[in-house]
Structure 1
Amino acid sequence: MSATALGATASQHRRQKDRRKLGENIAGWSFAGPATLVILGFSLIPMAWALALSFTDSDLMSPGRNVGLDNYRALLADPVFFQALRNTGLLLVLYIPSSLIAGLLVAVLLNRKVRGIGFYRTCFLVPYVVSATATGLLMGFVFDRDFGLVNGLLAKLGLPLQGLLSSPSQAMLVLTAIFFWTRFGFAVVIYLAAIQEISKEVLDAAAIDGAGAWARFRHIIVPSVRPMTIFLTVWGVIDALQFFDLVMTTTKGGPANATVTIVYYVWQLAFSFSTAGYGAAVAYALFAGTLVLIVAGLLLARRKGVTT
């Protein structure tokens, strides 16, 4: 075959390959395109609108006038905003470590071949999938100061009754405990999946070499699930910073703003106080803080050589 014929054949193959690739791209975008438009419509466009809103004094009923950076300057002198920051920070500090530690320990216990293990695993996941509204209403009854089950039990034991959700010093701690109970099941599932990926031969070899249960946990399991720990930390930070539903269904931010969180405060500003422009500024302050925390965590993980 001549060089000219070979060149024509190669050119024809390239054109056929390009047509197949174009057809695959068209088919792919025909499936992904609608979902992409939905994401753009319900995520990016509202974000851009909220950013523009944060520079106005709009009440959502009218466009409002442009106030520049006044809303952001007002944050620095807003005591309720700083109270919401403290409440949200307390939730983060208490929830993240406890959910990681408890999630890993429970996952290790559930990684056993015992009768009814599937039922036990389901029990830890159920609180995570139950409606937050239903959970909030139930826990509002359980921790009620006057008629709740907790104070009823304390009274039977002869112990002093507690304020619980009605106490400014206890309410946020109680909500954190409820939040932990409803969310740490997700960490259990993720850790359990990661542990089951660890080679049984490695664990058996360590046991033959004399490593006890604690040594195997510390030197094999913990390092093996470290990428999942980074993922769960990032996920937990996002989850905790968006804490809203339990506050809405139990304390409504009270007593005396003791349980106001950032997201609940944004909701109050926009829909209760008719200061949507200022609420948008608070929301973007939350967005900036969340972004900084996540980026810092990922950079720290990369510096330590951990990938997710």
Structure 2
Amino acid sequence: MAALTFAVARPVPARPRPKARRHLTGWAFVGPATLIVVGLSLFPAVWAFFISRAKWNGITAGVPVGWGNYQQLAQDPDMLAAARHTLLLTVFFVPLSIGLGIVVAIALNQRIRLIGFYRTCIFVPYVASAAATGILASFVFNPQFGAANDVLRHLGIPQQQFLESPSQALYVIVLIALWGEVGFTTVIYLAALQDIPKELVEAATMDGAGRWRVFRHVTLPELRPVTVFAAVWQTITAVQLFDLIYTTTRGGPLNSTQTVVYYIYELAFQTQRLGYGAAAAYLLFVVTLLLTLVIVWYSRRRGSEVF
């Protein structure tokens, strides 16, 4: 009989599935960056929470005080004054930045010559350094030789103190912040305007609607999701505004422009009250989170699903 030979099948190593391979490839790229971001954000946040429950100057050993720092914040007159200044800044800055963004975006959505140049000019202040903007604004609004008073002088209006006046400084800060931030809202509204279906506008026009009715009943409802996003973003920007105040008034005159963020900076890095400053920072985080949730909740109640 002929010898029978049997071929022994060798085990074939299992290859990773295409979907699993894509996941592994993606994590290989984003994994190191994710670890860095988590390490530079999550760990300091947790550490700051423990610091906020202690009395610590950054040198000697900390003394645990529990929730004492938070209780003291509720009775701190400087903290309450900084909160009022921050609220006033937010109330003026957010609606104005959104309203100006819509108006400028509509103007830049027209077919005119050099439209690309105009769009670039309106966006340049946003990408410019906030510190450079603040330093430049300090010269523009200088009471003695600033360009702003020079314009008022030619118009026959009395000279103003601007950043050196306790009653005017905060409003000038709002104006400077608008100069730097309107470009952002303009760009996102310009993109949203170009995304509105032309059929809706044409149908409203054919039905006899004028420009104002088209804007009110077609354009604004289509811009509502973008408005919610802009409101959240600009609220966070206003609450956390620091660089402009640092480069212009340093919280003055007479603490009239001292916001919560600048007060936290003074507590932590000027007076070395790190525990108290960390408590104020956590309180600011909670307030910002609550404001964001309220805006999102209200937008969803009105039918705008954004987040």
Measured against the shorter chain, the TM-score band is: over 0.9
Q: What is the aligned partner in structure 1 of residue 268 from structure 2? A: 270
Moved more, 45-54 or 206-215: 206-215
TM-score, normalised with respect to structure 1? 0.92
Gaps of 5+ in 1: 1-11
Q: What is the aligned partner in structure 2 of residue 65 from structure 1? A: 63
* Residue 80 (structure 1) shift: 1.1
* Residue 184 (structure 1) shift: 1.3
Q: What is the aligned partner in structure 1 of residue 78 from structure 2? A: 80
* Residue 55 (structure 1) shift: 0.7
Are residues 28 and 180 of structure 1, via their aligned partners in 2, closer, same or farther at CA, if it must alter by over 3 Å?
same
Q: What is the aligned partner in structure 2 of residue 118 from structure 1? A: 116
1:1-308 equivalent positions in 2, closer than 5 A:
19-308=17-306
Whichever residue aligns with residue 204 of structure 2, its letter is A
Moved more, 198-207 or 84-93: 198-207
Q: Secondary structure at the match of 2:289?
A: helix
> What is the CA RMSD across the aligned residues, in angstroms?
1.4
Whichever residue aligns with residue 19 of structure 2, its letter is K
Instruction: Give the whole-Å Cα distance in 1 for the aligned partners of 2:152 and 2:224.
Output: 40
Structure number having the greater helix percentage:
1
* Residue 91 (structure 1) shift: 0.9
Are residues 190 and 63 of structure 1, via their aligned partners in 2, closer, same or farther at CA, if it must alter by over 3 Å?
farther
Instruction: Give the whole-Å Cα distance in 1 for the aligned partners of 2:185 and 2:72.
Output: 38
Whichever residue aligns with residue 217 of structure 1, its letter is F
Instruction: Give the whole-Å Cα distance in 2 for the aligned partners of 1:62 and 1:220.
Output: 63
Instruction: Give the whole-Å Cα distance in 2 for the aligned partners of 1:63 and 1:48.
Output: 18
The superposition leaves residues 48-103 of structure 1 with CA deviations (integer Å, 9 ceiling, x where unpaired) of 01111101111122341111111111112211111111111011100111111111
Runs of 4+ in 1 over 6 A off after TM superposition: none
Q: Secondary structure at the match of 1:195?
A: helix
Moved more, 41-50 or 24-33: 24-33
* Residue 34 (structure 1) shift: 0.8
Q: What is the aligned partner in structure 2 of residue 5 from structure 1? A: none
Whichever residue aligns with residue 200 of structure 1, its letter is K
* Residue 129 (structure 1) shift: 0.7
Q: Secondary structure at the match of 1:182?
A: helix
The superposition leaves residues 96-150 of structure 1 with CA deviations (integer Å, 9 ceiling, x where unpaired) of 1111111111111111111111111111111111111110000001111222122
Whichever residue aligns with residue 215 of structure 1, its letter is R
Q: Secondary structure at the match of 2:62?
A: coil
Are residues 63 and 32 of structure 1, via their aligned partners in 2, closer, same or farther at CA, if it must alter by over 3 Å?
farther
Instruction: Give the whole-Å Cα distance in 2 for the aligned partners of 1:23 and 1:222.
Output: 45
Q: Secondary structure at the match of 1:225?
A: helix
TM-score, normalised with respect to structure 2? 0.92
Instruction: Give the whole-Å Cα distance in 2 for the aligned partners of 1:179 and 1:63.
Output: 40
Aligned length, in residue pairs: 294
Instruction: Give the whole-Å Cα distance in 1 for the aligned partners of 2:231 and 2:303.
Output: 16
The superposition leaves residues 176-209 of structure 1 with CA deviations (integer Å, 9 ceiling, x where unpaired) of 1110111011010000000101111221222222
Identical residues among aligned pairs (%) = 48
